Each structure stands twice: as C-alpha cells, then as structure tokens.
C-alpha cells in the first residue's frame, strides 16, 4: 500500500510546479546578471530530481528508488545529446528544434528503456562518454562562446511566463516518474529544465545566449549525476531524509568545484 494516496496528488502537483518555476526564474536571472557560465552551472544543481525521488521512494520504497536511479546517468547522457541537437536546430527555428529534438529524445530514450539498464557503473560510463563528447563538440569544434551579462527590464508578465512555462513542463515529468523502475529513472530527469531554459533565453536574448547556457549546463550536469549516484547507494543504507541531504551536499561540493574551474571555459 502506498504511503501517499489521492490526498497527496495535490502535493505532487503543487510542490514540483512552484519549486521548478522558482529555480528556472532564478537560473535565467542569474545568467542575465552574471553571464552564461555562472547561470548554466548553477542551473544544474539537483532540483526536480530531488522532488521526484523523494516521492518515488515514499510511494514505492527505497529499494525501488535505488534501482530506478541506476538508469539516470545514462538518461542524462541522452539529455545532453538532445541539448546539443536542440541548440543546433535553434539557429534555424524554435519549432524545428522542439519537434526534431524531442523526436530524437524519444527514440534514444526508448532504446535505453529497451536495454533495461540497471547497472549504475555502466550507466555512469554512458553519461561520461556523452558528457565529454558533447562538451568538446561545443567547446572545441563548434566553438560556442560564453555570453556575458545582459541588461534586462523585468516585468511581472515576463517573470510569470518563465515560471508558469517551467512549472507546467516539470509537473508533467514528475507525475510520469511514478511508473516502472527504468521508466521512473528516465522521466525523473526529463529535460524540462533544459527545454524551458532554452526557450526562455532564446525568446529574450537569441540563440547565442542559449548556446552559451547549454555549454555550461553540460559541464554542470556533473552535479545532478553526483546526486543520482549518491542516493543510489545512500537510500538503502540511510533512508530518504539522510540520503537526500547527504546526496545534495555531495552534489553541492561538486558544483563548487565546477564553479571554481569555470574560468577555463571560453
């Protein structure tokens, strides 16, 4: 029997909506104030994955959650491929980027689902290869440049648009994350933050700013991966609360290290 029933559906809808909306609003504002290096790296701190896995563990148990998170690193590798393709197509059209980008995401995620990957070490290897390849592609081959701060006049309408767009996308992804173990892992890191951040920055600042954000977010994705790996081992040993707190502190340490190395990024 689930610990949470229909009375908790509201929590599973409202909490992800407002948390994710707040996070992306902060990400985009920080990027506009301090540039894409800072915004992209800070924007990849684990957020929705924390909410998703707290509810997954409460509903399905810590063993289910631990097994489910095994596929997360590999799925993040898929997300990074999606992000690079999205950026490439964004220079042509936002609509093309959305349609083609998500079509590729569905195909690659489906392949990953069919492999029934539940080995955290292989999954992390897939992520590492994808992360290195996509970052080198943007940094060395395409030579995407980081973008400095932008002066923006903030209005209530602009802030509400950013928050509502992100909250809507991520609430759907969190609701889909309470299914089978592998599907839970895949949907728990649905590229909602990536997509909403790209759409918002593209609308306000154009594709170059979005591309700079994407490159920093690829590097910053180590933070989410460190959280996923941490809770895979911590949840069965220490439970949801301690596992989540220690996992977040570990990912925060990783983010600080990446942040200190950011000046090496062009």
Burial 226-248 (b: 16+ CB within 10 A, else e): bbbbbbbebbeebebeebbebbb
Question: Could you give the C-alpha distances from 151 to 38, 204, 227, in angstroms and in order?
Answer: 16, 11, 33
State the Cα–Cα distance between residues 123 and 59, nearest whole angstrom.
24
Residue 246 pLDDT grade (very low, low, confident, very high; cuts 50, 70, 90): very high
At residue 9, does pLDDT exceed 60? no
What is the per-residue pLDDT for 2? 46
Give yes or no for residue 262 having a pLDDT over 90. Answer: no
Instruction: Check pLDDT > 60 for residue 190.
Output: yes
* pLDDT for res 176: 64
Three-state secondary structure call for residue 177:
coil
Q: Per-residue pLDDT tens for 120-166?
A: 999 999 999 999 999 999 888 887 776 666 655 556 666 666 567 65
pLDDT of residue 177: 58
Three-state DSSP class for 196?
Answer: helix
Q: Which phi and psi angles does 3 have, rounded to 5°?
A: -70, -25
Name the residue among 111, 113, 84, 114 with its Cα closest to residue 100: 84
* Mean pLDDT, residues 89-104 taken together: 93
Contact 218, 241 (CB under 8 A): no
Q: In whole angstroms, give the CA distance from residue 249 to residue 216.
A: 21
Rounded distance between C-alpha atoms, residue 229 and residue 26, angstroms: 26
Euclidean distance between CA atoms 243 and 61, whole angstroms: 13
**Does the pLDDT value for residue 91 go beyond 70?**
yes
Q: pLDDT tens digit string along 45-84?
A: 787 788 778 877 877 789 988 998 999 999 999 999 999 9
Q: What tokens appear for 140 in the block?
A: 């060395």
3-state secondary structure 215-257: HHHHHHCHHHHHHHHHHHHHHHHHHHHHHHHHHHHHHHHHHHH
């Amino acid at each position: 029997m689930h610990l949470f029933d229909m009375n908790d559906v509201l929590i599973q809808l409202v909490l992800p909506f407002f948390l994710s909306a707040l996070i992306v609003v902060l990400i985009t504002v920080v990027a506009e104030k301090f540039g894409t290096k800072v915004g992209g790296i800070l924007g990849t701190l684990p957020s929705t994955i924390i909410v998703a896995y707290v509810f997954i563990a409460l509903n399905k148990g810590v063993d289910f959650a631990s097994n489910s998170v095994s596929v997360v690193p590999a799925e993040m590798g898929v997300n990074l491929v999606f992000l690079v393709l999205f950026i490439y197509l964004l220079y042509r059209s936002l609509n093309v980027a959305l349609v083609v980008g998500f079509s590729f995401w569905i195909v690659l995620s489906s392949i990953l689902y069919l492999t029934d990957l539940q080995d955290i070490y292989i999954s992390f290897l897939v992520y590492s290869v994808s992360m290195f390849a996509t970052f080198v592609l943007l940094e060395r081959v395409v030579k995407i440049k980081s973008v400095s701060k932008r002066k923006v006049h903030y209005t209530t309408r602009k802030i509400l648009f950013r928050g509502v767009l992100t909250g809507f996308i991520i609430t759907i992804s969190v609701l889909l994350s309470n299914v089978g173990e592998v599907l839970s892992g895949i949907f728990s890191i649905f590229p909602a933050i990536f997509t909403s951040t790209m759409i918002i920055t593209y609308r306000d600042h154009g594709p170059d700013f979005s591309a700079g954000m994407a490159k920093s977010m690829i590097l910053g994705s180590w933070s989410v991966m460190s959280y996923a790996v941490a809770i895979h081992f911590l949840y069965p040993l220490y439970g949801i609360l301690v596992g989540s707190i220690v996992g977040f502190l570990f990912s925060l340490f990783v983010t600080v290290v990446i942040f200190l190395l950011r000046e090496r990024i062009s």
